[in-house]
Chains A and B, each alone.
Chain A
Amino acid sequence: MVATLAAAMLVAVASQRQTDTTFAVPAGASLSVNNFGGGITVHAWSENRVKVHGDVGRRGRVEVSLVGNTVVVRTGSREGAPSVIDLDITVPQSMGLTLGGTYADITVEGVQGPISAETVNGEINVRGGKGTVTLHSIQGGVTLADASGRIEVNSVNEDIELSNVTGEVKVETTNGEIMLNGIQSSSVDAGTINGDVTYEGTVTDGGSYSFGSHNGDITVSIPERANVTITVATANGDIDASFPLPMTNTAGKHRKTFKLGTGSARMELESFQGDIELRRPQEIRERIGEHKRDHHNDNDHDFDKDHDRDTSFSSHFDAGTWNYAARYAKAYAPKYAKAYAPQYARAYARMYARTYKRAYRDTDTTSH
Chain B
Amino acid sequence: MNDMWMNRLSEYLDGELDNTERTALEAHLATCGECYATLGELRQVVAQAKQLEDTPPATDLWSGIATQIRRGSVVDRPVRRDRRRFSLTIPQLLAASIALVLLSSGGAYMALRPGTSKVTPQLTASRQRGIGTVATWTGPTDAAIADLQATLTENERRLDTTTVRIVRQNLAIIDRAIAEARIALQKDPGNAYLNLHLADTMRRKVELLRRVNDIAAQS
A273 to B201, CA, bound (A): 14
Could you list some 21 contacts between A and B, CB below 8 A?
A: A138-B163, A138-B212, A139-B166, A157-B166, A174-B170, A174-B208, A175-B169, A193-B177, A193-B201, A210-B40, A214-B177, A214-B181, A231-B36, A249-B33, A251-B33, A251-B34, A252-B192, A255-B34, A259-B30, A268-B40, A273-B180
A191: which B residues are within 8 A, CB to CB?
Answer: 200, 204
Asked whether any CB of chain B lies closer than 8 Å to the CB of A256, the reply is yes
Are A251 and B181 touching (Cβ within 8 A)? no
Asked whether any CB of chain B lies closer than 8 Å to the CB of A275, the reply is no
Q: Who on chain B is nearest to A232 by CB?
A: B33
Q: Who on chain A is nearest to B183 by CB?
A: A235
Are B180 and A249 touching (Cβ within 8 A)? no
Q: Who on chain B is nearest to A257 by CB?
A: B33
Are B33 and A231 touching (Cβ within 8 A)? yes
Are A263 and B30 touching (Cβ within 8 A)? yes
A263: which B residues are within 8 A, CB to CB?
Answer: 30
Residue among A102, A191, A214, A257 with max Cβ neighbours from chain B (10 Å): A214
Are A138 and B34 touching (Cβ within 8 A)? no
Are A157 and B169 touching (Cβ within 8 A)? yes
Decide if the interface of chain B is mainly helix, strand, loop or mixed. helix
Asked whether any CB of chain B lies closer than 8 Å to the CB of A33, the reply is no
Q: Contact check: which of B160, B162, B193, B204 meets A270 at CB < 8 Å?
A: B193
Asked whether any CB of chain B lies closer than 8 Å to the CB of A16, the reply is no
Q: Contact check: which of B30, B174, B192, B215 meets A174 at CB < 8 Å?
A: B174
Asked whether any CB of chain B lies closer than 8 Å to the CB of A45, the reply is no
Are B31 and A248 touching (Cβ within 8 A)? yes
B52: which A residues are within 8 A, CB to CB?
Answer: none
Q: 10 smallest A-B Cβ distances: which pairs?
A: A231-B33, A257-B33, A214-B177, A233-B193, A174-B170, A251-B34, A249-B31, A139-B166, A251-B33, A254-B193
Asked whether any CB of chain A lies closer than 8 Å to the CB of B37, the reply is yes
A265-297 CB contacts (< 8 Å) to partner B? 266, 268, 270, 272-273
How many chain B residues sit at the interface, stated as a range, is 35 or more
B180: which A residues are within 8 A, CB to CB?
Answer: 214, 272-273
Are A215 and B34 touching (Cβ within 8 A)? no
A102: which B residues are within 8 A, CB to CB?
Answer: 219
Interface string of B137-177 (1 = CB under 8 A from A): 00000000000000000000000101100110110011001
Are A156 and B208 touching (Cβ within 8 A)? yes
Are B40 and A193 touching (Cβ within 8 A)? no
Q: How many residues of A contact B (CB 8 A)?
A: 37
Are B204 and A254 touching (Cβ within 8 A)? no
Given contacts A215-B177, A235-B184, A263-B30, contact A175 B162 (CB under 8 A): no
Asked whether any CB of chain A lies closer than 8 Å to the CB of B194, the reply is yes
Distance in Å from the Cβ of A208 to the closest Cβ of chain B? 8
B66: which A residues are within 8 A, CB to CB?
Answer: none
A157: which B residues are within 8 A, CB to CB?
Answer: 166, 169-170
Asked whether any CB of chain A lies closer than 8 Å to the CB of B191, the reply is yes
Asked whether any CB of chain B lies closer than 8 Å to the CB of A32, the reply is no
A102 to B163, CA, bound (A): 10
Are A138 and B215 touching (Cβ within 8 A)? yes
A212 to B193, CA, bound (A): 12
How many A-B contacts if CB must be within 8 Å?
103
Asked whether any CB of chain A lies closer than 8 Å to the CB of B131, the reply is no
- Please report B residues at the A interface, Cβ cutoff 8 Å: 30-34, 36-37, 40, 160, 162-163, 166-167, 169-170, 173-174, 177, 180-181, 184, 188, 191-194, 197, 200-201, 204, 208, 211-212, 215, 219
Are A255 and B31 touching (Cβ within 8 A)? no
Are B193 and A255 touching (Cβ within 8 A)? yes
Asked whether any CB of chain B lies closer than 8 Å to the CB of A98, the reply is no
Are B193 and A174 touching (Cβ within 8 A)? no
Q: Contact check: which of A139, A251, A268, A273 meets B32 at CB < 8 Å?
A: A251
B166: which A residues are within 8 A, CB to CB?
Answer: 138-139, 156-157
Asked whether any CB of chain B lies closer than 8 Å to the CB of A194, the reply is yes
Distance in Å from the Cβ of A79 to the closest Cβ of chain B? 20
Interface string of A98-125 (1 = CB under 8 A from B): 0000100000000000000000110000
Are A252 and B212 touching (Cβ within 8 A)? no
Are A272 and B181 touching (Cβ within 8 A)? yes
Asked whether any CB of chain B lies closer than 8 Å to the CB of A181, the reply is no
Residue among B162, B188, B193, B204 with max Cβ neighbours from chain A (10 Å): B193
A156 to B184, CA, bound (A): 25
A102 to B211, CA, bound (A): 14
Distance in Å from the Cβ of A41 to the closest Cβ of chain B? 23
Are A121 and B163 touching (Cβ within 8 A)? yes
Are B174 and A120 touching (Cβ within 8 A)? no
Given contacts A157-B170, A191-B200, contact A254 B191 (CB under 8 A): yes
A167-212 CB contacts (< 8 Å) to partner B? 172, 174-175, 191, 193-194, 208, 210, 212
Residue among A172, A174, A175 with max Cβ neighbours from chain B (10 Å): A174
Residue among A235, A257, A270 with max Cβ neighbours from chain B (10 Å): A235
Distance in Å from the Cβ of B163 to the closest Cβ of chain A? 6
A256: which B residues are within 8 A, CB to CB?
Answer: 33
B173: which A residues are within 8 A, CB to CB?
Answer: 174-175, 193-194
Asked whether any CB of chain B lies closer than 8 Å to the CB of A229, the reply is yes
Are A214 and B170 touching (Cβ within 8 A)? no
Are B32 and A174 touching (Cβ within 8 A)? no
